[in-house]
Amino acid sequence: MRVRLAYGRSGLTIDVPRERTTVIEPIQAPALADPDAALTAALRRPVAGPPLRGLAKPGQTLAISVCDVTRAQPRREMVGAVLRELDGIVRPEDVMILIATGTHRANTPAELRAMLGDEIISSCRVINHDARDDSSLVELGESGNGVPTRLCRHWLEADLRITTGFVEPHFFAGFSGGPKMVAPGLAGLDTVLTLHDAARVGDPRSTWGIIEKNPLHSDIRAIAARPEAEPHFSMDVLLDRSQRITHVFAGELFAMHRRACAAAKPIAMRETSRRFEVVVTTNSGYPLDQNLYQAVKGMSAAAQVVVDGGLRGGAGPRRRARRVRGGTPRRAHLRAPRGPADDSVRCGVRRKGLPDVGEARDFSARPPSAAKRLADSEFGPSPHLPGRQCRGPHFVSFCDAAS
């Protein structure tokens, strides 16, 4: 049986045994027939709070937070809808588009043009947030559970602040979008590192699909709720596997985000009654799989349903693997278990460059004993993967993995 995985720009097709394979896919919500009309309607009839146009006044400066190039947000459509709605009130030269990079690299001019389009780029000021530039940050003291809070000066000084993003399950923040477009998106390095520390990320409540009583998400909310930082208006969308808009939510940040998360959960998250010996997944394809750092999200999704001692197969970028590990792509992507905290072998398919898909290695198609020999030859014997236990495994394939 051939299964197509979301991988790079064009996808990756693998062969798996039909009689021993379960394919888990997100529910496919229909794409909106007229997304521009839906975006405008949401701005005028928000989930909570006043319509966007009623918040703006002539002469105000406007800051709009958008995702960086590693996310699939339809920025051009969302920002365009906001600008059209505020036409005649806020002048284009008073608009700042803030790329919520968090600690990621700055997006290049070519990437920004592809993300936002020529019209927005030429009429508005576009700024890459820099978490390491102290001069661009403002110290606000502590937020939430002792989080040292520094945020982007441009965001704080704007008269009108709007977040835009998209919502899908996140492996420790619960869901993306919403308050994450303030922090970590527009936060300083120390703020981001604290939000991502071991205590918060390691808490069992910091996981997929949970925002209430999630300690990490609670601190993110606390930062976004500060009076000097809180958005005046927010808009999030849901996307299908082709990155088309399926739902639009707008209005007061927290009410809007709760509604979006509630809509996303039954679509993007699927229940299963069992765990599987072999799990093959990806990181949802381009732009979410541009670097090795992001690949952990696909691994985390697979970890939810793999048995102890099972195999997690994932796709990872070859070029980045060499840089991080200093060895061959195979060595970078095939890791033997190092203790009880990680009792599975992770095997990856490689690709020749970014973002196009190149050569792939399908370790799951080999006899289990061959996979074990490969792991042993690279990293020494693995007591967690005896050959007999892996004979005739039941495979599961995620056709999309949330990020």
pLDDT on residue 123: 96
Higher pLDDT, 190 or 373: 190
Q: Which of 268, 303, 332 is the last residue of a domain?
A: 268
Highest mean pLDDT among 4-13, 283-292, 293-302, 330-339: 4-13
Q: Does position 386 have pLDDT exceeding 60, yes or no?
A: no
Q: Does position 202 have pLDDT exceeding 60, yes or no?
A: yes
Please tell me whether residues 341 and 383 are part of one structural domain. yes
Q: pLDDT by residue (tens digit) across 116-173?
A: 999 999 999 999 999 999 999 999 999 999 999 999 999 999 999 999 999 999 999 9
Residues paired with 5 in a beta bridge: 12
For the segment 48-56, the average pLDDT, to the nearest whole number, is 97
pLDDT on residue 228: 97
Please tell me whether residues 195 and 68 are part of one structural domain. yes
The answer to whether the beta carbons of residues 278 and 310 sit under 8 Å apart is yes
Q: Which of 234, 268, 302 is the last residue of a domain?
A: 268
For the segment 36-61, the average pLDDT, to the nearest whole number, is 98
Residue 30 domain-assigned (yes or no): no
Tokens 């004979």: give the residue. Answer: 391
Please tell me whether residues 139 and 212 are part of one structural domain. yes
Residue 61 domain-assigned (yes or no): yes
Please tell me whether residues 14 and 152 are part of one structural domain. no
> Residue type for 150, please?
R
Q: Does position 25 have pLDDT exceeding 60, yes or no?
A: yes
- CATH number of the domain at 221, please: 3.40.50.11440
pLDDT on residue 319: 39
Q: Does position 181 have pLDDT exceeding 70, yes or no?
A: yes
**Average confidence score pLDDT of the chain:** 80
Least confident among 231-235, 244-248, 287-291: 287-291
Residue 403 domain-assigned (yes or no): no
Please tell me whether residues 102 and 219 are part of one structural domain. yes
Residue 380 domain-assigned (yes or no): yes
Number of structural domains the chain divides into: 2
Q: pLDDT by residue (tens digit) across 70-93?
A: 899 999 999 999 999 999 999 999
Name the band, by pLDDT with cuts 50, 70 and 90, for residue 314: low
Please tell me whether residues 206 and 144 are part of one structural domain. yes
pLDDT on residue 345: 26
Please tell me whether residues 284 and 220 are part of one structural domain. no
Please tell me whether residues 202 and 251 are part of one structural domain. yes
Residue 14 domain-assigned (yes or no): yes
Name the band, by pLDDT with cuts 50, 70 and 90, for residue 311: low
Residue 71 domain-assigned (yes or no): yes
Please tell me whether residues 263 and 322 are part of one structural domain. no
pLDDT on residue 7: 86
Q: Does position 391 have pLDDT exceeding 60, yes or no?
A: no
Q: Does position 388 have pLDDT exceeding 70, yes or no?
A: no
Tokens 């495994």: give the residue. Answer: 393
Domain containing 77 equals 35-268
Q: What is the 3-state secondary structure (H, E, C) of the chain?
A: CEEEECCCCCCEEEECCHHHEEEECCCCCCCCCCHHHHHHHHHHCCCECCCHHHHCCCCCCEEEEEECCCCCCCHHHHHHHHHHHCCCCCCHHHEEEEEECCCCCCCCHHHHHHHHCHHHHHHCEEEECCCCCHHHEEEEEEECCCEEEEEEHHHHHCCEEEEEEECCEECCCEECCHHHHCCCCCECHHHHHHHCCHHHHCCCCCCCCCCCCCHHHHHHHHHHCCCCCCCCEEEEEEECCCCCEEEEEEECHHHHHHHHHHHHHHHHCCCCCCCEEEEECCCCCCCCCCCHHHHHHHHHHHHCCEEEEEEEEEECCHHHHHHHHCCCHHHHHCECCCECCECCEEEEECCCCCCCCCCCCCHHHCCHHHHHHHHHHHHCCCCCCCCHHHCCCCEEEECCCCC
Q: Are strands 160-166 and 233-239 parallel, antiparallel or unpaired?
A: parallel
Please tell me whether residues 205 and 291 are part of one structural domain. no
- CATH number of the domain at 14, please: 3.90.226
Q: Which residues of 140-151 are buried (b: 16+ CB within 10 A; e: fewer)?
A: beebbeebebbb
Please tell me whether residues 298 and 149 are part of one structural domain. no
Distance CA 28, CA 33 (A): 15
pLDDT on residue 392: 39
pTM: 0.75
Least confident among 26-40, 42-56, 81-95, 345-359: 345-359
Least confident among 200-214, 315-329, 344-358: 344-358
User: Among residues 107, 73, 98, which one has the least CA distance to residue 156?
Assistant: 98
Please tell me whether residues 43 and 149 are part of one structural domain. yes
